Amino acid sequence: MSKRTRTPLNLVRARPGPPHTVTFDGREIPALPGQTVAAALWSAGITAWRTTRRGGEPRGVFCGIGVCFDCLVEVNGRSNQRACLTPAAPGDEIRTQDGSGHGGKPGEGR
């Protein structure tokens, strides 16, 4: 097996179902059945999808197991969804979350 084909899917000989699409900030991206939102975003080259309350610093996955809350994202209008735990369903509308997701802007200290 060449280095080019050494992907997690190939290494475990996974045979996922056909991909579907989700949108991230209006951009269509592919997702595989069973993938989390974070995995779909990472696969599309997107590594940050939240900004901090103070300073507006970009955040994405930190712990990857739902403990740290750095990966919060808005899914289908619901804020504060942990991207590392939320399955990506066909047609999901995913948006960057600003700050706490409670309508405040970065730096407002909510």
What is residue 3's predicted lDDT score, i.e. its pLDDT?
58
Residue 16 belongs to some domain of the structure: no
Residue 33 belongs to some domain of the structure: yes
Residue 72 belongs to some domain of the structure: yes
Residue 88 belongs to some domain of the structure: yes
Domain residues for the domain of 58 are: 21-98
Residue 42 belongs to some domain of the structure: yes
What is residue 16's predicted lDDT score, i.e. its pLDDT?
76
What token pair was written down for 90?
A: 């066909």
Measured CA to CA, the distance from residue 81 to residue 85 in angstroms comes to: 8
Measured CA to CA, the distance from residue 31 to residue 110 in angstroms comes to: 33
| Among the listed residues 6, 13, 75, 5, the one whose alpha carbon sits nearest the alpha carbon of residue 38 | 75
Residues (pLDDT < 70) of the chain are 1-4, 8-9, 14, 102-110
What is residue 9's predicted lDDT score, i.e. its pLDDT?
67
Query: Phi and psi for 39 in degrees, rounded to 5?
Result: -65, -40
What is residue 108's predicted lDDT score, i.e. its pLDDT?
38
Total domains in the chain come to 1
Percent of the chain with pLDDT over 90: 56
Residue 13 belongs to some domain of the structure: no
What is residue 23's predicted lDDT score, i.e. its pLDDT?
98
Q: Are 80 and 32 in contact (CB under 8 A)?
A: no
Instruction: Give the mean pLDDT of the chain.
Output: 85
